[in-house]
Amino acid sequence: MSEILDTLSGAVRYLSFNRPRKMNALSRGMYAHLAKALNDSAGDFSVRAVIITSEGDHFTAGNDIVDFMDNPPSADSSEVAVFLAALLNFPKPLIAAVKGNAVGVGTTMLLHCDVVVATPSANFSMPFVSLGLVPEAGSTFLFPSLVGYQRAAKIFLTGESFSSTQALEMGLIAEIDGDALAVATRIAQQIAEQPPQAVINTKALLKARNHDSVAAVMRAEFEIFALALQSDEAMEAFMKFMAKKGSS
């Protein structure tokens, strides 16, 4: 069974994380699938919107930590870098339906989505610093722009998580609903019925103000991130995670 369920329903493409036994931690193969699906959808007239969602109880526990240790991403051609570029440049509406934990890239990818719907119990966190790393996906630019410097710095530097109610108040998500996927589907279908070129042009205009800045910040974050992955601080945090696995 594929670790990304990839289906087209009408004009809406669904990409669903399907690795629930690992809390949908994102492997290199999953990033590669997601990137290709986004890039293909960009040029496919039959796709009017994409929904990112998940199987099981959680959205995703973020990047697979074992992959980080075994295959640390370093070049622009790494699967995660290609996925983040596809996310930044995706020209059509991208909608996320979030439930349970959205850790690390599970939260930072939402900063690129056009509409995010979450369940009341969804929980968001970006514990990069706690792992000896730095935030990625342009989040050091996008998150303070959204919530203000003080709140962004507190969340990044402490690694603390936040709830759906807080995410709604911050403007990270658009709606809270017990059936986030059903609401995301309704919104995607509504958008899919709009004139497609007007939708694409409007998204381009909405994103234009930040696009180049985000691309530059993403590059800088990635360079520091790649170095941090080799650091003693990161190794110590990863070993702690592995030790917890071993003892469970």
Q: What is the C-alpha separation between 111 and 139, in angstroms, rounded?
A: 7
Residue nearest to ligand COA (CB): 104
How near is the Cβ of 30 to ligand COA at its closest, in Å? 11
Give the x/- contact pattern for ligand COA in 51-90, rule: CB under 6 A: ----------xxxxxx------------------------
How near is the Cβ of 33 to ligand COA at its closest, in Å? 17
Q: How far is CA 173 from CA 3, 15, 98, 115, 116, in A?
A: 25, 19, 9, 7, 5
- Judged by beta carbon, residue 64 or residue 114, the one nearer ligand COA is 64
- Residue 75: strand, helix, or coil: coil
DSSP 185-198: HHHHHHHHTS-HHH
How near is the Cβ of 231 to ligand COA at its closest, in Å? 14
- Judged by beta carbon, residue 93 or residue 106, the one nearer ligand COA is 106
Please choose, out of 1-9, 19-27, 37-45, 90-98, the segment that lies near ligand COA by the rule CB under 6 A.
Answer: 19-27
Neighbouring residues of 71: CB distance < 8 A, sequence distance ≥ 6: 28
- Judged by beta carbon, residue 61 or residue 97, the one nearer ligand COA is 61
Please choose, out of 18-26, 33-41, 185-193, 224-232, the segment that lies near ligand COA by the rule CB under 6 A.
Answer: 18-26
111 touches ligand COA by CB under 6 A: no
Q: What is the C-alpha separation between 209 and 203, in angstroms, rounded?
A: 11
Strand boundaries in 126-231, DSSP class E: 162-163, 175-176
Give the x/- contact pattern for ligand COA in 163-192, rule: CB under 6 A: ------------------------------
Tokens of 160: 């603390």
- Residue 85: strand, helix, or coil: helix
From candidates 4, 11, 25, 167, binder to ligand COA by CB under 6 A: 25
From candidates 50, 131, 173, 181, binder to ligand COA by CB under 6 A: 131
Q: What is the C-alpha separation between 46 and 60, in angstroms, rounded?
A: 28
Q: How far is CA 197 from CA 45, 79, 247, in A?
A: 10, 30, 54
From candidates 73, 104, 135, 138, binder to ligand COA by CB under 6 A: 104
Q: What is the C-alpha separation between 54 and 21, in angstroms, rounded?
A: 12
Q: Would you tell me which residues interact with ligand COA (CB under 6 A)?
A: 22-23, 25, 61-66, 101, 103-104, 127-128, 131, 245, 248
